[in-house]
Amino acid sequence: MMNAITVIGASWGGLQAMETILGSLPKNLAIAIAVAQHRHKDSEGELVSCLQRSSLLPVVEVTDKQAIAPGQVYLAPADYHLLVEPGHFALSTEAPVAYARPSIDVLFESTADAYGERAIGVILTGSSQDGSQGLAKVKSYGGIAIVQEPTTAVSRIMPDAAIAAVVSATILPLPEIAPFLVKLCSSSFFTSSSG
C-alpha cells in the first residue's frame, strides 16, 4: 500500500502562506507534498528558491514521470498541469482549466483517483475558484479536506469556494495547518505501508 500524499493548492498570496506551512514542517515528515501554485508562465525557479529558504524539506520542481518519495515538496512547473499517478507524477500541457495551468483541480482530482482515502487536500488563499471541485473529489473518495480559514487568507475567494463545495472540510487558521498535517502524518493510518 502506498504512503499518503498531501496536495496543496494556492493562488494570490500563496507564497507567504506556503512559507508559513513549510517553515513549520519537520525534516522527517513521513509523506510527500505536491503543490500547485498559480504563477506566471514565464517564471523560472524563483518559487523553488523562495520556498526552500523556509523549508527543512527539499523543494523540487517536478519532472515528468518523477517518482514520489516521502519527505519531499514537489512544485508544479510553471505552465504545466501536475497530475498524480500511483507512485509517480505526470506533466501535461493540455489546455488551462479555469484559466489556470497548473490547475489545482487537475492536481487534486488525479490525486483522488490515485490515492483515494490516503490523500490530503489543502486549499489556501487565492482569488479564483480553482481547487473547489478537486477538493470535493478528494473528500468524496475518502480523503481529508483542509481549507485555510478565509479571514487568515490574503484573498478569501478560493477558501470560500472550497468551503461551499466541501461542507465537511476541516477549516483551520493558516498557522494551524502545518501542526495538523504533522499530527495526521504521525497517525498509524497514514504511515503504515504494508503490502
Q: Which residues are catalytic?
A: 11, 38, 130
Beta strands in the chain (DSSP E): 5-10, 32-37, 59-61, 73-75, 81-85, 88-92, 119-123, 144-148, 170-172
**56: DSSP letter:** S
Separation CA 187–CA 77 (nearest Å)? 31
Cell triple for 145: 479536506
C-beta separation of 17 from 125 below 8 A: yes
Q: At 149, phi and psi to the nearest 5?
A: -55, 120
The phi-psi region of residue 15 (left if phi > 0; otherwise alpha if psi is between -120 and 50; otherwise beta) is alpha
C-beta separation of 117 from 142 below 8 A: yes
